[in-house]
Amino acid sequence: MKTLLRLIAAAAFASLVGASAVHAQSHDWPTRPVRIIVPAPPGGGYDNTIRPLAQDLALQLKQPVVIENKPGAGNIIGTQAGATALPDGYTLTMTGMLNTIAQGIYERVPFDIVSDFAHIAAIGAGEQWLVVNSQAGISSFTDLIAQANREPGKISYATSGQGSTGHLLMELLQRSTGTTLTHIPYKGGAPALQDVLGGIVPVTVIPQSGALQHVQSGKLKVLAVSSAHRSKDLPLVPTFEELGHKQLTVTSWVGLSAPKGTPPAIVSKLSAAVRASLAKPEVVAKIEAQGLTPMVSTPDQYSQLVKGDTERWGQLTRSLKLKAN
């Protein structure tokens, strides 16, 4: 009996010491450089969005914030590395809506984007633009739907691939309008856009950052935007909601997450630092240059966004029986 009591007391003491150590680490954090895993290549949208934020976070945290690019497999490789890192606050991961789509279309995702992370804060979100080649003979959203109804399946649309944001948005559009269009998937957004610009395919859905210069040059015409409010760059173009299709309100968002088990005090400190950075005009300007609108959120709000979109896209991809190529 005495031996059992000693074991119980030792376990209780070890637990108390462990909790005290975690508290001390949380209180002192950070004492060395912080790493942010970006599951996408250098020079892309993710990379260009996180770097100005990382620079400002380094000033606030008084420690270097280092970017590590780990692209591949629909952002899965880098995100897995982030999910399995030590939950000590020194490895963070750039997460986004693409993770919530990948969760439903890849056979075996080695992590759960909802439950295997302590989500810190959203960074920004960008709307999608429904665009047509200016010479395609489609004058408006209403005209597109009318033509699609007259000749089901004749109008085709290009996307960056099966299960991409553009593909899913167009699937929602067809369900909402009762139309049938033909999907032409490409291996990436650049070749899809080039064929729309060349008049080979008349329609596509792309982010504002990829479309703006071609809209300004007159090569593309925007029929609708997927944001909740009209784009400041296109004040005369309606949102899908204004056109009667609220379910097409979609934004491609990104944020920052830590491994599950990261001390709440560290998550809270990081979230406050992100919000402080996003209040600075110089940081906001660089994020807006990537076609994103900065988002201000708490850890709980970002967690709810991740969970909500995982459920939304999971339901859609399952109903379409979509699987990644």
Q: What is the pLDDT along the chain (325 residues), one digit of tens a residue?
A: 444 334 334 433 433 444 444 444 677 999 999 999 999 999 988 999 999 999 999 999 999 999 999 998 889 999 999 999 999 999 999 999 999 999 989 888 999 999 999 999 999 999 999 999 999 999 999 999 999 999 999 999 999 998 999 999 999 999 999 999 999 999 888 999 999 999 999 999 999 888 999 999 999 999 999 999 999 889 999 999 999 999 999 999 999 999 999 999 999 999 999 999 999 999 999 999 998 999 999 999 999 999 999 999 999 999 999 887 5
Q: Which position has the token pair 């005369």?
A: 236
Neighbours of 49 (CB within 10 A): 25
pLDDT value of position 270: 98
The CA distance from 136 to 182, in Å, is 15
Could you tell me the residue ranges of all domains in the chain?
Answer: 32-126+252-320, 127-248
Asked: is 127-248 a CATH 3.40.190.10 domain? The reply is yes
Q: For 137-181, what is the HEC assignment?
A: CCCCHHHHHHHHHHCCCCCEEEECCCCCHHHHHHHHHHHHHCCCC
Asked: is 32-126+252-320 a CATH 1.10.220.10 domain? The reply is no
Neighbours of 199 (CB within 10 A): 12
Phi and psi, residue 143, nearest 5°: -65, -40
**Identical fold, 32-126+252-320 and 127-248:** yes
The CA distance from 266 to 20, in Å, is 15
DSSP string of 35-61? EEEESS-TTSHHHHHHHHHHHHHHHHH
DSSP state of 246: G
DSSP state of 289: T
Residues 170, 184: contact at Cβ < 8 Å? Answer: no
150-156 long-range contacts, CB within 8 A, separation 24+: 152/179, 152/180, 153/180, 153/181, 153/182, 154/182, 155/181, 155/182, 155/202, 155/203, 156/181, 156/182, 156/183, 156/184, 156/201, 156/202, 156/203
pLDDT value of position 108: 87
